[in-house]
Amino acid sequence: MSALLISNGTIVTDSAVFTADLLIRQGKIAAVGPGLQAPDAEVLDASGKLVLPGGVDPHVHLDLPMFGTVSSDDHYTGTKAAAFGGTTTVIDFVSLDFPTFRQSVDAWRVKAEKAAVDYAAHMNLTRFDDAVAAELPSLLEMGITTVKTFTAYNNRLRLDDGSIFKALRMTRDCGMLMLLHAENGDVIELLVTEALASGCRTPEWHARTRPAWGAVESALRAFALSATADAPLYLVHMNTAGEVDMLQYARERGLKVMGETCPQYLFFTEDDLRRPDGAKWICSPPVRSAADNTRLWQGLANGTIQTVGTDHCPFFFDGTKPILYEGKPVAIPGKELGRDDFTKIPNGLPGVQDRLPVLWTAGVGSGKLTAQQFVALTSTNPAKIFGLYPRKGALLPGSDADLVLWDPQKKVKYGVALSHQRTDYNLYEGWELTGYPEKVFLRGRLIVDGETWLGKAGMGEFLHRQPGAPVL
């Protein structure tokens, strides 16, 4: 692979913004600094453009079976969409669908092989017995250093508190990190049963049966278990002000706890569920209120929350009508499955491509976040927390040359026409964005050039992660 010198760009890292050249050799960053000389290198003039480390999305669900259908982006289409949005690494979830972790991971590896950007996996820890406990440390041999547990989805995904506590002691001893989905499963089951019995079936009941207090109390419960086990814990998809309060409370007391939110929780509310097309906004946990949006923004700005992921798990709004994807008609059953019953609407939203562009405009453009905070939240922090740094999330000599040439002046009217997410809608339809990826490189190879796709299925590499990642 020939050398590339990106000259005169504005380098943005999690801690600095400066003008410099950046030299790429053999897919790695070879040097960063002013006035670099490389006579053999092709030169790309990046004057007026920003050079960012490729985004790291720590939370996606590709090709995930749910409610008799499947999330509509597979490991190729979802990672292609990620690349168009400036994300060059994604972390997907392995469902514990087989008797052993090994079998579950092997089956997932086959599905994930067609990824077009680099990828890693979290393991869903949705059973906990002697066999699972005995096999847990071997996840490290499979390159997996993180497990996700749930305090909701009774009789399916949920673990009881005792099992979460035991698992925390094990993840601590193995240098692993536990992720936690915080909602109150018992309360949800009861409220859903009552709602259906009373004929309440519209999308807004999805949120009304999954109350914010359940997220708040189970977040605090999980932090207490983490403190008692002296084990690190990462709270996924924070959606309520109360979770930010609990995370702040726990971190002020020195607990090893961290948190992630997602764009949908920064921008949308239960009012969106009351729209005629409200099913588009159904995800779990649900979108909440304007006050929750505000507190989550504060949590990002003041450092209480460490990352912005997406929980990308798209479904068609109307999966009976095909869309054209790469010139071919595709229709995958989606939200229409629950037209008459909110409990049958597949849970999840598209977002892997949208994350950087919408967060840039609404965060950096509005002055809520600095450009360095943007890089920290979307790339460097997830890379560090999940054991990928400094290979990913950094613009350092030796790092993978995953980078985004970002045009901070570019104005786009965003929406489904610009989106490569394989679904028939976009949550940000018609949004006027300022700042957009112009070119995206994966290990030194140009994979997105404006609106042109130069990547390929299978280009992505599986990232074998190392234990002992830092708590930020």
Task: By CB under 6 A, name the binding residues for ligand DUC.
Answer: 61, 181, 283-284, 311, 313, 347-348
Q: How far is the CB of 215 from Zn ion (least distance, A)?
A: 11
Residue 63 near residue 111, CB atoms below 8 Å: yes
Contacts of 370 (CB under 8 A, 6+ apart): 364
Contact flag: residue 355 with Zn ion (CB under 5 A): no
Q: How far apart are the first and last CA of the chain?
A: 36
CB atoms < 10 A from the CB of 1, how many?
Answer: 12
Which lies closer to Zn ion via its Cβ, residue 21 or residue 311?
311
Query: Which run of H or of E encompasses 436?
Result: strand 432-442
- Residues from 148 through 207 that contact Zn ion (CB under 5 A): 181
Residue nearer to Zn ion on the CB measure, 308 or 369: 308
Which run of H or of E encompasses 271?
Answer: helix 270-273
From the CB of 67, what's the least distance to ligand DUC, in Å? Answer: 10
The sign one gets for the Cα dihedral 362, 284, 344, 331 is positive
- In terms of DSSP bridges, do strands 118-124 and 65-66 run parallel, antiparallel, or are they unpaired? unpaired
Of 8 and 145, CB closest to Zn ion:
145
Report the residue number, 311 or 424, with the smaller CB distance to ligand DUC.
Answer: 311
Residue closer to ligand DUC, measured from CB, 305 or 376: 305
**Residue 204 or 311: which CB sits closer to ligand DUC?**
311
Taking the least distance from each CB to Zn ion, the nearer of 181 and 355 is: 181
Comparing CA positions, the residue from 471, 445, 451 lying closest to residue 88 is 445
- By beta-carbon proximity to ligand DUC, the closer residue of 95 and 298 is 95
Is residue 338 a contact partner of residue 345, using CB atoms and an 8 Å limit?
A: yes
Alpha-carbon distances, residue 464 vs 144, 333, 387, 401 (angstroms): 7, 33, 9, 18
* Minimum gap (Å) between residue 438 Cβ and ligand DUC: 31
Figure out which of the listed residues 311, 400, 402, 424 binds Zn ion, where binding follows CB under 5 A: 311
CB of 349 to Zn ion, least distance (A): 10
Residue 400 binds Zn ion (CB under 5 A): no
Residue placing its CB nearer to ligand DUC in the complex, 46 or 207: 207
Closest separation in Å from C-beta 61 to Zn ion: 6
Q: Which does 225 bind (CB under 5 to 8 A by kind): Zn ion, ligand DUC, none?
A: none
Return all residues near 361 (Cβ < 8 A) that are at least 6 apart.
Answer: 431, 432, 433, 434, 435
- Is 92 a binding residue for Zn ion by CB under 5 A? The answer is no
Look at residue 233 and give the partner it binds from ligand DUC, Zn ion, none, a contact being a CB closer than 5 to 8 Å depending on partner kind.
none
DSSP H or E stretch at residue 31: strand 28-33
Task: Please give the C-alpha separations between residue 237 and each of 199, 213, 259, 294, 295, in angstroms, as whole numbers.
Answer: 30, 15, 8, 15, 14
Task: Estimate to the nearest angstrom the gap between the alpha carbon of 102 and the chain centroid.
Answer: 24
Find the shortest distance in angstroms from Cβ 178 to ligand DUC. 15
Task: Give the DSSP H or E segment for 258.
Answer: strand 257-261
- 3-state secondary structure (DSSP) of residue 317: coil
Minimum distance, C-beta of residue 152 to ligand DUC, in the bound complex (Å): 9
User: Any contact of residue 243 with Zn ion (CB under 5 A)?
Assistant: no
Region from 131-139, 294-302, 311-319, 415-423 binding Zn ion, contact rule CB under 5 A: 311-319
CB of 198 to Zn ion, least distance (A): 27
What are the backbone angles phi and psi of residue 19, rounded to the nearest 5°?
Answer: -90, 130
Taking the C-alpha atoms of residue 67 and residue 343, their distance in angstroms, rounded to an integer, is 9
Taking Cα atoms as reference points, which of 215, 179, 197, 28 lies closest to residue 93? 179
Euclidean distance between CA atoms 88 and 326, whole angstroms: 20
Give the residue with the Cβ less far from Zn ion, 62 or 405.
62
* Closest to 139 measured CA to CA, from 88, 173, 166: 173
What pairs with residue 329 in β-bridges? 324
Q: How far is the CB of 282 from ligand DUC (least distance, A)?
A: 7
Structure token pair of residue 270:
């239960």
Ranked by CB distance to Zn ion, the top (closest) residue is 181
Task: Report, in Å, the least distance between residue 374 CB and Zn ion.
Answer: 22
For the bound state, the minimum distance from the C-beta of residue 11 to ligand DUC, rounded and expressed in Å, comes to 35
Nearer to Zn ion, 158 or 465 (CB): 158
Residues near Zn ion (CB under 5 A): 181, 311
